[in-house]
Structure 1
């Protein structure tokens, strides 16, 4: 059986681990980031840091938030004295590596999953800090606010259009030449930016459906694939390792 060639579209600083998993499972990774992340010391982040002692909870939705805080405010995380909620294993592990205790991590690694946990626990009338990217979906702060909490929303990093657009165009060319067997998407913006770069979006969607196995990390990213009429699969647990395990399982089944 030949090695599957798997396209990785996640940001460059996060793609290394995904590439290692693909290689370990017996595939060949092709990295073409359709999203770049840039830490920013925004006014809203300065406000969050200034109000650190007011916090009852802080929520980290991605590892990049922790990276940004450490870059601009190296003592912030070390001196946090509030409860911590995270979305995802990777975020939780990085928080623990930075000396924090994770008090809440939903089984469903989505904003919706976290909201449900806050509802179950009756967490209300608290001050909650949410440092994240400004382009994130509004559902998390909105729903936590409806529970009677005060939300301190802060921009910790920017989600940017890919700086290396050339690599994405090269990936599209490889897809057209049937040189790619599978493609993975780990956030809604990785899909959106991928199609923005394409000259013919309908043709690209057809190529994915006809020639590639498309794998989404979870249902939120999958909604954008639905918008472009792209067929996909996603794992039950929304992590990169689980996504890759599912990809290779389906690949082997279809190539036996």
Structure 2
């Protein structure tokens, strides 16, 4: 019988490669069951945003998906962007992808959250500045709301959408595996990965929460996703640095 640790990943397959490699490097087995799908959008708000980009003072990317969306629909984006526009990102992975797309990163916070980015903006005069944020509309509003409160003119654009997969049969299989204690650990990388799992669980919500708390090592990428786990009464751990690598390293140290 194999003593390999089975680790469930709930993020989209296209975003799971790094985690799979890390888990297998530790001798574990990755079970990829996305509880959400990402849909790239060229929404009306993104079209409106594109008409403003030569006037932007700051551009903020909070996820890789926003970059993928913009460069899918607007491959000449870099030519349109003002040379004076500075770029801020949340997270080292987003910074890497931003630079791959040919953009220079001017600001990355130590704490990879909206709050961390806001702390970095505290010493920057943004009054009257135009700040563009392409993102999903399901994201928290603390970032744009606070920047506006500080006097910035914030332009939000819906560049992608997180949706529940159309076929939830694999998610139901995952829930059964968790309840049958066939999963050793599970990772969550956004609040929606948690919410969608419990949405599919339906009548098994309480049992699922108990098993995730007591029989499965539940790991959140950071405190924001962790708060959603708390809403469902799930005990969890999270790393000091909110990255996939730190999350997987912490998991295997904790076994």
Calculate the TM-score normalised by the size of structure 2.
Answer: 0.96
SS state at 2:159 partner? strand
List runs of 5+ in structure 2 lacking aligned partners: none
User: C-alpha distance in 1, partners of 2:5/2:50?
Assistant: 46
User: C-alpha distance in 1, partners of 2:216/2:72?
Assistant: 39
1:81-106: CA deviation from partner (whole Å, max 9, x where unpaired):
21000001110000111111100000
List runs of 5+ in structure 1 lacking aligned partners: 252-256
SS state at 1:153 partner? strand
Aligned partners of 1:36 and 1:162 also within 8 Å: yes
Q: Which residue of 2 aligns with 1:188?
A: 191
1:53-88: CA deviation from partner (whole Å, max 9, x where unpaired):
110000000000010001111111344221000001
SS state at 1:159 partner? strand
Aligned partners of 1:37 and 1:160 also within 8 Å: yes
SS state at 2:16 partner? helix
SS state at 1:120 partner? coil
User: C-alpha distance in 1, partners of 2:34/2:196?
Assistant: 9
Q: Which residue of 1 aligns with 2:47?
A: 46
Q: Which residue of 2 aligns with 1:254?
A: none
In the alignment, is residue 233 of structure 1 matched against residue 244 of structure 2? no
Q: Which residue of 2 aligns with 1:118?
A: 121
User: C-alpha distance in 1, partners of 2:167/2:36?
Assistant: 9
- Superposed, 1:1-256 pairs within 5 Å as 2-81=3-82, 82-199=85-202, 200-251=204-255
User: C-alpha distance in 2, partners of 1:203/1:241?
Assistant: 29
Per-residue deviation, 1:16: 2.2
Which piece of structure 1 moves more, 233-242 or 78-87? 78-87
User: C-alpha distance in 2, partners of 1:85/1:194?
Assistant: 31
SS state at 1:33 partner? coil
Number of aligned positions between the proteins = 251
Aligned partners of 2:40 and 2:159 also within 8 Å: yes
SS state at 2:122 partner? helix
Alpha carbon RMSD of aligned pairs, Å?
A: 1.1
Aligned partners of 1:84 and 1:101 also within 8 Å: yes
